[in-house]
Amino acid sequence: MLPQLSKRTLAVWRRNFLVWKKMAIPSLLGNLADPMIYLFGLGYGLGSLLPQVAGVPYIAFLASGTVCASTMNAASFEALYSAFSRMQMQRTWEAILYAPVALDDVLAGEWLWAAAKATLSGSAILLVVSLLGFVASPLALWALPVIFLTGLTFSALGLIITALAPSYDFFMYYFTLFLTPMVLLCGVFFPQEQLPFLVQSVAAWLPLTHAVALVRPLLFGQVPSHIALHVGALLIITGGAFWIALRLTQRRLLK
């Protein structure tokens, strides 16, 4: 059964935005701090010891991967910790459901909000690396819709875990067993070609691989190869993950 959505989804999105707006600056700084530390620390520190990677300085190579990893992390944190707080601790979802708003709209609003927040984080990193001179052409603007799609993908995946989680501690398994390996396997820090063939085959199925494969060439001023494949894979993962998240959330809250 497909989700039954209405314009009330946007009302849920707006509610989260209005709450976030009160602490927007600290939130933005928090989203920027961690990826920028990695970018400057590894990019300039380790990069000074390395030759060019994929034909560019290592810090430029790392910058494109950091845009994707930052988007993934921002979407995941919002769809996990923040959404879980509103669902389980604050009972915000329960309160909203007393209004004429369906659970489908509540979850879709959370999904779109997490993706929007992730897009803001990824775009901020993209702006910083552009100002630092690591963007080769205006083709990089096409990275913005890819960032949004990446945010949608990881927001939907995060909502699955939120629907299953008994407590905040449960999220550490998701980060340790799923997100952290993706950062290491999907070409953020080094080319996937450096990995054993079997590991490359596994990494090719991971969503972050498709995001990096689209964003990195755009920042280098190149048209990505196999665009339809990568976009299609992200869309399929996103749609399937949101459907699963909705079914699990309905089972948890409406049983």
The parent domain of residue 242 ranges over 8-253
pLDDT at 206: 95
pLDDT at 255: 66
Specify if 49 maps to a domain. yes
Backbone phi, psi, residue 99, to 5°? -85, 170
Number of domains in the chain: 1
Specify if 51 maps to a domain. yes
pLDDT at 47: 64
**232, 149 in Cβ contact below 8 A?**
no
Closest CA to 100 of 162, 19, 11: 11
CA distance 38 to 31: 12
Specify if 57 maps to a domain. yes
Q: Which are the contacts of 16, defined by CB distance < 8 A and separation ≥ 6? A: 109, 110, 113
- One DSSP character per residue, 44-57 reads IIIGGGS--BTTB-
Specify if 16 maps to a domain. yes
Ranges of residues in the chain whose predicted pLDDT is under 50: none
Specify if 2 maps to a domain. no
Specify if 1 maps to a domain. no
> What's the pLDDT tens digit per position in 62-108?
888 999 999 999 999 999 999 999 999 999 999 999 988 999 999 99
